[in-house]
Chains A and B, each alone.
Chain A
Amino acid sequence: MEAAAEPGNLAGIRHIILVLSGKGGVGKSTISTELALALRHAGKKVGILDVDLCGPSIPRMFGAQGKAVHQCDRGWAPVFLDREQSISLMSVGFLLEKPDEAVVWRGPKKNALIKQFVSDVAWGELDYLVVDTPPGTSDEHMAAIEALRAYQPLGALVVTTPQAVSVGDVRRELTFCRKTGLRVMGVVENMSGFTCPHCTECTSVFSRGGGEELARLAGVPFLGSVPLDPELMRSLEEGHDFIREFPGSPTFTALISIAQKILDVTPACLP
């Protein structure tokens, strides 16, 4: 049996949430980013660990691309977004010499880096650590879960789009969660419809109904639907805080509601 984990660099982290999908391109990094910004909006200190080694999207979404990671006595210092250190980030994106350099690694090398990301980043005190993952159910996911298991993650947020093709992959991700003993906090349905800015007609661009159906099939909570908003896309491209800048958007309302549900199910910490 394994001994209790050395708390080390994760000692100051109250709650760990993994954002998973199975399917690519559904908005895991988007949801990770917006959840972090929404939790900050609610006064929390949040870190994001980006374990997508081939397609690290997180740095750009915060406008932090090109920032360097420095060594400190406890390991790597995460990239802080502001002086208050309300949001801190770690991603392989910060370690690449050239942004267009492809990380062409096989599984075992990816595993090794992810273990390091979990144990060697000096996160300090955080209310939440959000772990953004790549699509699939493979090396990165197993490495992250194995490395984090001893710290008892709060659970996983599973992201899908409304399409059956997405639900088809995400069902397998839910099996993965079950097999690895990772609690599923709920399903988020992203890209749920687009409201035409010219005539306000709402179109189901990527079909409809998948999120709720998935939650029902798997017996997990449905946390909400997030509609498409080009201003959200633009904010992510340009590294702006959508939560601060677009409080009137229905997408803002959806994201804040999801963050609130996370806050509601977070156990209060013992003193």
Chain B
Amino acid sequence: MEEVPHDCPGADSAQAGRGASCQGCPNQRLCASGAGATPDPAIEEIKEKMKTVKHKILVLSGKGGVGKSTFSAHLAHGLAEDENTQIALLDIDICGPSIPKIMGLEGEQYVEDNLGVMSVGFLLSSPDDAVIWRGPKKNGMIKQFLRDVDWGEVDYLIVDTPPGTSDEHLSVVQYLATARIDGAVLITTPQEVSLQDVRKEINFCRKVKLPIIGVVENMSGFICPKCKKESQIFPPTTGGAELMCQDLEVPLLGRVPLDPLIGKNCDKGQSFFTDAPDSPATLAYRSIIQRIQEFCDLRQSKEENLINS
């Protein structure tokens, strides 16, 4: 298994736990104590817990405000429309936990019988409470979420992440490494300022050997509700996600246009699909969700073939 802090000296090196890049790593104490080859026991415990979780999908970006939480929430809603499918949505954005609001939850954890949510937002007593934590404490919370929550039988676990390529991302990949993540969905807007961060995120995924399901281009065009003509609020000055995906050889799962009803529904904590079933944005979402399901099913059958052969 690859350990992933950038410049990690290696768990069995003389510098293990002592290097500058070891600071904040969940294994630091273990490495420094000389128990170099022993990984964090939590990783095994998490692997056990995750045995009842069929598919794990990370929603990443690199860039903030592109619609990761909006997408995660609607991916969850879309998959949960099949009552026989159990969905869990985990929000590991510890500083800015948006999922409770978008899902319309104050403290209760179930949106539907088959759609459960976990977020640090539920643990905060006031909407003004700030979670001012440094990296190691955030890592501890993520470990707790993965190890101590009773996930039960889940078909899809969707993990919504904060922007960036830092503690939270390293931790969730490390803790889930042996539990097998199906892959990552990366969200971007058409702007270069977003693409430049998403390219870094793609490189991060490759570095930590996280499969990439594909890229979603969000806020891709705006249709005026009055005159119905299309404008580009966020012009794709460098070719948008399409060109980036071609260059980096990752699939473009789809483009979601801007629909003011999306923002309104997120503010009200409702599913946008229910409010605007015929919106081009809804149709785009549904097509993307289907492609994600196909990816997960294909991965599952490939693994089953490997086991049976």
Contacts and interface: CB of A to CB of B under 8 A. Distances in A.
A68 interface: no
Interface in A220-255: 228, 230, 233-234, 236-238
Nearest to B264: A207
B133 A138 contact: yes
A60 B98 contact: no
Given A135-B96, A203-B260, A24 B163 contact: yes
A108 B135 contact: yes
Given A107-B166, A163-B263, A205-B263, A236 B64 contact: no
Contacts of B231: 194, 196-198, 230
B95 A136 contact: yes
Interface residues of B, number: 69
A189 interface: no
Given A102-B203, A207-B263, A176 B165 contact: no
Contact of B23 (A109, A180, A196): A109
Nearest to A238: B237
Interface stretch (B47-55, B144-152, B218-226): B218-226
Contacts of A206: 260, 263
A165 B164 CA distance: 19
Q: Classify chain A: how many residues form its interface, as a range.
A: 35 or more
Question: Chain B interface mostly helix, strand, loop or mixed?
Answer: loop
Given A110-B166, A138-B132, A24 B63 contact: yes
Interface in B121-136: 127-136
A150 interface: no
Interface string A31-65: 00000000000000000000000110100110000
A102 B169 CA distance: 12
A204 interface: yes
A64 to B, nearest CB: 13
Interface stretch (B106-114, B188-196, B290-298): B188-196
A236 B238 CA distance: 12
Interface stretch (A9-17, A76-84, A167-175): A167-175
Contacts of B163: 24-25, 54-55, 134-135
Given A23-B64, A99-B196, A107-B135, A172 B95 contact: yes
A97 interface: no
A198 B230 CA distance: 9
B20 interface: yes
A234 B5 contact: no
Contact of B130 (A25, A108, A175, A236): A175
Contact of B127 (A107, A161, A163, A171): A171
Nearest to B28: A106
Given A104-B4, A136-B96, A174 B128 contact: yes
A205 B222 contact: yes
Interface string B1-41: 00011100000000000001101110000000000000000
B131 A137 contact: yes
Interface string A103-122: 11111111010000000000
Contact of B267 (A198, A207, A230): A207
B193 A236 contact: yes
B233 interface: yes
A138 B199 CA distance: 24
A205 B237 contact: no
A142 interface: yes
B245 interface: no
Interface in A188-214: 194, 196-199, 201, 203-207
Contacts of B136: 107
B102 interface: yes
A22 interface: yes
Interface in B59-90: 62-66, 69
Contacts of A175: 128-130
Contacts of B232: 230
A107 B63 contact: no
Contacts of B24: 106-109
A142 B233 contact: no
A99 B192 CA distance: 12
A21 B256 CA distance: 25
Contacts of B191: 233, 236-237
Given A55-B63, A228-B233, A176 B167 contact: no
Nearest to A175: B130
A96 to B, nearest CB: 9
8 contacts: A54-B163, A106-B166, A109-B24, A138-B135, A203-B226, A205-B222, A230-B232, A238-B237
Given A102-B165, A106-B135, A179-B130, 11 more contacts: A25-B64, A25-B163, A57-B193, A100-B196, A102-B200, A138-B133, A168-B101, A172-B96, A199-B224, A205-B263, A236-B191
Ranked 9 nearest A-B pairs via Cβ: A25-B65, A24-B64, A107-B135, A106-B24, A108-B23, A136-B95, A54-B164, A102-B200, A199-B227
